[in-house]
């Protein structure tokens, strides 16, 4: 579009000022009487909820919200239907929301406000992340160069301060769609506080990124997330799942996970550096006792070779995280 020319913006239009800076136009959606019946339009006299749906799940939906005192400040509001849950699960959701409320870390989704006052619904106000999911980011680019994958992985290992139990690229968001993006780990619906020695035994997680002990239904600890970031690193460098081969059934994937036989026939696997392959192998160790911990990855050859650069980029991009 040239100088002095006008164009009508539609919902979702993006204006790029340069390769790294852009703005997305989001149409304002006023609340309706239907909205008011479902949930309060005004949340704590701070946020106005709309009918613009940004996402949904079996017991949740995410809608567009804006600050009452400033309509241009827009947010995502996750609405969890507590009333539809059995009592035990509803109590777990409330505990998890209490955890999210107190977690403060630049690599973890920020819950700006958590409202548990309604008997029917819980409301979580969150920033809107313009870069989309890590899953889409990698697939659009087919795979990432190792220096870019290294920066994303570096943020992952910094962000695992509580056990997530469902780490996967779909649950990781980018602040911006750009080279060396800042990430935030989201969807802590399965999260729990963990100490170094505590164990859990619930059946949660997504199979393609689930550790063997989780697949077998055994007791597990925070090391299941170490396995998941190994599978994520494999995906970053190859754009394929380590265990979920094309057309594979769940039973086949389970066998591969339990044996630790990740795919090395991938045509791009020979292009992955030996240092990255070594780290992936250490993270995808079937025995949790021999599996490298996320924090120890900072001392791996693959990270150490560019650690100074990673720290500089991390600090330089700090302002990008909402």
Same domain, 270 and 238: yes
pLDDT value of residue 291? 96
SS3 96: helix
Same domain, 138 and 286: yes
Same domain, 167 and 65: no
pLDDT value of residue 128? 85
What is the distance between the alpha carbons of residues 253 and 43, in angstroms, rounded to a whole number? Answer: 44
Residue 4 lies in a domain: no
pTM value is: 0.78
Same domain, 145 and 279: yes
Same domain, 186 and 294: yes
Same domain, 287 and 191: yes
Which of 104, 126, 148 is the last residue before a domain boundary? 126
Active site residue 246: no
Tokens linked to 19: 């390769």
Residue 9 lies in a domain: no
Query: Which residues lie across from 78 on neighbouring strands?
Result: 62, 124
Is the model's pLDDT at 196 over the cut of 50? Answer: no
Which of 109, 126, 143 is the last residue before a domain boundary? 126
Strands, DSSP E only, in the chain? 14-16, 22-24, 42-43, 47-56, 60-67, 70-81, 113-115, 121-126, 172-174, 183-185
Residue 94 lies in a domain: yes
Domain count, the chain: 2
Residue 305 lies in a domain: yes
What is the distance between the alpha carbons of residues 30 and 65, in angstroms, rounded to a whole number? Answer: 10
pLDDT value of residue 205? 42
Is the model's pLDDT at 316 over the cut of 90? Answer: yes
**Between residues 291 and 4, the one the model is more confident about:** 291
pLDDT value of residue 211? 93
What is the distance between the alpha carbons of residues 72 and 54, in angstroms, rounded to a whole number? Answer: 17
Is the model's pLDDT at 19 over the cut of 60? Answer: no
Same domain, 287 and 164: yes
Residue 227 lies in a domain: yes
SS3 205: coil
Worst-scoring range by mean pLDDT, 117-131, 135-149, 187-201? 187-201
Same domain, 59 and 151: no
**pLDDT tens figures, 216-262:** 888 877 889 899 999 999 999 999 999 877 777 888 889 999 999 99
Q: How many CB atoms lie within 10 A of CB 53?
A: 11
CATH number at residue 98: 3.30.200.20
DSSP string across 257-295? HHHT------TTGGGS-HHHHHHHHHHT-SSTTTSPPTG
Residue 300 lies in a domain: yes
**pLDDT tens figures, 35-66:** 445 566 777 788 988 888 887 766 778 888 88
**Averaged pLDDT of the chain:** 80
Residue 3 lies in a domain: no
What is the distance between the alpha carbons of residues 206 and 258, in angstroms, rounded to a whole number? Answer: 14
**pLDDT tens figures, 65-115:** 889 888 778 888 888 887 777 776 677 777 777 777 777 777 877 778 888
**pLDDT tens figures, 137-189:** 999 999 999 999 999 999 999 887 666 567 889 888 899 999 999 998 876 55
Mean pLDDT of 280-304: 96
Residue 253 lies in a domain: yes
Mean pLDDT of 280-309: 96
Torsions phi, psi for 304 (to 5 deg): -60, -30
Mean pLDDT of 314-322: 89
Same domain, 117 and 196: no
**Between residues 290 and 112, the one the model is more confident about:** 290
Domain with 191 in it: 134-320
Which of 87, 104, 126 is the last residue before a domain boundary? 126
Same domain, 110 and 213: no
Worst-scoring range by mean pLDDT, 131-140, 205-214, 220-229, 279-288? 205-214
CATH number at residue 290: 1.10.510.10
pLDDT value of residue 63? 87
Taking alpha carbons only, the member of 268, 267, 262, 310 closest to residue 282 is: 262
Is the model's pLDDT at 31 over the cut of 60? Answer: no
Q: How many CB atoms lie within 10 A of CB 31?
A: 17
Q: Among residues 4, 44, 71, 166, which one is catalytic?
A: 166
Residues in the chain: 322
Same domain, 138 and 121: no
Same domain, 141 and 116: no
């Amino acid at each position: 579009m040239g100088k002095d020319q006008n164009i009508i913006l539609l919902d979702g239009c993006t204006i790029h000022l340069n390769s790294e800076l852009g703005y997305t136009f989001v149409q304002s959606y006023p609340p309706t009487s239907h909205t008011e019946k479902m949930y309060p339009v005004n949340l704590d006299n701070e946020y106005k909820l709309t009918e613009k749906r940004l996402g949904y799940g079996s017991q949740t939906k995410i809608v567009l919200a804006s600050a009452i005192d400033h309509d241009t400040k827009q947010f995502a509001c996750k609405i969890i239907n507590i009333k539809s849950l059995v009592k035990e699960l509803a109590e777990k959701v409330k505990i998890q929301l209490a955890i999210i409320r107190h977690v403060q870390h630049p690599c973890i989704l920020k819950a700006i406000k958590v409202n548990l006052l309604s008997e029917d619904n819980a409301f979580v106000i969150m920033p809107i992340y313009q870069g989309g999911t890590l899953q889409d980011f990698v697939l659009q680019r087919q795979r990432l160069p190792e220096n870019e994958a290294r920066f994303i992985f570096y943020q992952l290992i910094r962000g695992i301060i509580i056990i997530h139990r469902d780490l996967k690229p779909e649950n990781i968001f980018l602040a911006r769609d750009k080279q060396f993006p800042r990430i935030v780990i989201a969807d802590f619906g399965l999260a729990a506080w963990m100490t170094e020695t505590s164990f859990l035994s619930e059946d949660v997680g997504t199979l393609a990124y689930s550790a063997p002990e989780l697949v077998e239904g055994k007791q597990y600890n925070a090391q299941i997330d170490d396995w998941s970031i190994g599978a994520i690193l494999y995906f970053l460098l190859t754009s394929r799942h380590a265990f979920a081969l094309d057309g594979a059934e769940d039973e086949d994937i389970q066998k591969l996970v339990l044996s630790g036989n990740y795919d090395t026939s991938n045509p791009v696997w020979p292009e992955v550096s030996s240092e990255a392959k070594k780290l992936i192998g250490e993270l995808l160790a079937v025995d949790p006792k021999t599996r490298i911990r996320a924090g120890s990855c900072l001392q791996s050859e693959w990270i150490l070779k560019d650690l100074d650069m990673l720290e500089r980029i991390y600090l330089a991009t700090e302002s990008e995280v909402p």
